[in-house]
Amino acid sequence: MFDQLKAQPQDKILQLIAMYRDDPRSTKIDLGVGVYKDATGLTPVMRAVKAAEKKLWETETTKTYTGLAGEPAYNAALSSMILGTAVATDRIASIATPGGTGAIRQALELIRLATPEATVWISNPTWPNHPSIIKFLGMKMAEYRYFDAATRGVDFAGLMEDLATVKAGDVVLLHGCCHNPTGANLDAAQWDQVITLLATKGATPLVDLAYQGFGDGLEDDAAATRRIAAAFPETLIAASCSKNFGIYRERTGILIGIGAAAGKGVLQGNLNFLNRQNFSFPPDHGARLVTMILEDATLRADWMAELEEVRLNMLTLRQSLADELRKATNSDRFDFVATHRGMFSRLGLTEAQVNTLREDHGIYMVGDSRINIAGLNARTVPILAAAIAQVAG
Ligand code: HCI
C-alpha cells in the first residue's frame, strides 16, 4: 500500500525552519515562520498563561472528556472577545478546534457538507494552508486580486473588480486583520464597500482571524469581523489563540458559525458532528487557560498589558526598519513597512534577491519576500536594511 504514495509538497514556511536550523553561521537572522519573538529571540510563555497553568494544576480535579464542541465557557468567552456585542448570542454556534488551522479545516468541511458546489474565493496572495486545504478537500477555488506590487498596499480596485464576479452561494475567505503574507490591510471605508458588495452578491464570508491584538489593538483588530458578522445573514469565523496568547503548540482555536436563530440547533449539531468525525473532542488545555485568563479580571488585565507590549514592540521595529531603509536606500520606497500591520510585511523583492539575502547574508525570509517583523531586534534592523539596500538598492 505505502508504495502507492507519492511525495507531497512541503510547506514553504515550515521548510525554512529546517534550513535556518541547519545554517551554521552565528550571524544568521530568522524572519520566517510567524511566531512572536522578543528582543532576545525567545518566544516566551506569557505571564498570565504561566499563572493560569499554575492555578489549573492546583485546582484541576479531572481530565475526563470535555464536550464535542469544547467547554461552553471557552466558546462563550472567546466568542465575546471576538464579536463583542455585534450579534445576538442566539445566532452564534461554535466549536473549539485544534488551532486556527483546525478551525479553517472545519469551516471548509462545513461548507462542503452544506454546498459541495460552492466556490471558495481566496486573496492572491494568501496563507499557503488556505489553498492547500481547499484543494485537498476537492473544493472549487477562485482568487481575487489583493496586493499591489508597485505600492505594496492593497490593490483595492482589482479586489473590487474580482469580487464583483462572485456568485450567490460562493464563500469569500477574508483576513479579519493583519493580512498574511502581505501586511497590507483594508481601511474601514474599504471594508464597508467590500461588505456591501458581497452582501449584494449573496456571498458568505469566512473570516480568518489569527492575529487579533497584533495590529491596531484587540478591539480595533476585531472591528471588521464584527461589522461583517452584523451585516450578513450567515458568517463563518475561524480564529486562533496561538499568537495573541502565545500558546502555539497547545492548538487552541475556534470556529464560529453565525446564522438565523431558528437554525442554530442544526448548525451546532453539524459543527459537533464534524468534530466527532475528525477527532472527537477538541484539545482542552490551551482552551482552559484562555478561559481562565478571560474570566479573571486580574489575569485578563495582565494578559492585555503583555499583548500590548508585544504589539508596540512590533510597531517600533516597523518604524525603525522603515527609517533605516530610508537611510540605506536614500529613498522612501520602503515606507510601507511602517504602515503595514501585524507580524508580516511583503517587501516585494524577487525570489533571486530573497535567495541572495539567505545565501550571502544569512537572512531567512519566505520566498515571496515576506518577513516576520518580530524576528528583528534593535541590533538586526540596520543589518537587514543594509542587506536589502545591497541586493535591491
Ligand atoms: C505563518 O508563518 O504564516 C503562520 C505559522 C504557520 C505556518 C505554517 C503552518 C502553520 C502555521
Q: What is the pTM of this model?
A: 0.97
Cell of 275: 468534530
Task: Choose, from 51, 96, 103, 210, the residue flagged as catalytic.
Answer: 210
Helical H segments across 23-124, by residue range: 47-59, 72-83, 99-114
Looking at the structure, tell me whether residues 253 and 381 fall in a common domain.
no
Say which CATH number the domain at 206 has: 3.40.640.10
Looking at the structure, tell me whether residues 209 and 93 fall in a common domain.
yes
Rg (CA), the chain: 21
Active site residue 243: yes
The closest-lying atom of ligand 1 relative to the alpha carbon of residue 32 is 2
- In short, whether 11's Cβ falls inside 6 Å of ligand 1 is yes
Looking at the structure, tell me whether residues 128 and 13 fall in a common domain.
no
Q: What is the pLDDT along the chain (393 residues), one digit of tens a residue?
A: 999 999 998 888 989 999 999 999 999 999 999 999 999 999 999 999 999 999 999 999 999 999 999 999 999 999 999 999 999 999 999 999 999 999 999 999 999 999 999 999 999 999 999 999 999 999 999 999 999 999 999 999 999 999 999 999 999 999 999 999 999 999 999 999 999 999 999 999 999 999 999 999 999 999 999 999 999 999 999 999 999 999 999 999 999 999 999 999 999 999 999 999 999 999 999 999 999 999 999 999 999 999 999 999 999 999 999 999 999 999 999 999 999 999 999 999 999 999 999 999 999 999 999 999 999 999 999 999 999 999 997
Cell of 8: 507531497
**Residue 53 domain-assigned?**
no
Looking at the structure, tell me whether residues 383 and 242 fall in a common domain.
no
Looking at the structure, tell me whether residues 87 and 185 fall in a common domain.
yes
**Residue 58 domain-assigned?**
no
Active site residue 12: no
Q: Which domain holds residue 329?
A: 2-45+311-392
**Residue 276 domain-assigned?**
yes
Confidence at residue 393, expressed as pLDDT on a 0 to 100 scale: 77
Looking at the structure, tell me whether residues 88 and 155 fall in a common domain.
yes
CA 54 – ligand 1 centroid, Å: 28
- In short, whether 127's Cβ falls inside 6 Å of ligand 1 is yes
Cα-based angle 191, 194, 196 (whole degrees, multiple of 5): 110
- In short, whether 129's Cβ falls inside 6 Å of ligand 1 is yes
Looking at the structure, tell me whether residues 159 and 281 fall in a common domain.
yes
Who's near 365: CB < 8 A, 6+ residues apart? 31, 32, 347, 354, 357, 358, 371, 372
Indicate the number of domains in the chain: 2
- In short, whether 14's Cβ falls inside 6 Å of ligand 1 is yes
Looking at the structure, tell me whether residues 327 and 388 fall in a common domain.
yes
**Residue 29 domain-assigned?**
yes
Q: Domain boundary residue among 271, 295, 319?
A: 295
CA 109 – ligand 1 centroid, Å: 20
Task: Choose, from 162, 208, 221, 284, the residue flagged as catalytic.
Answer: 208
Looking at the structure, tell me whether residues 209 and 339 fall in a common domain.
no
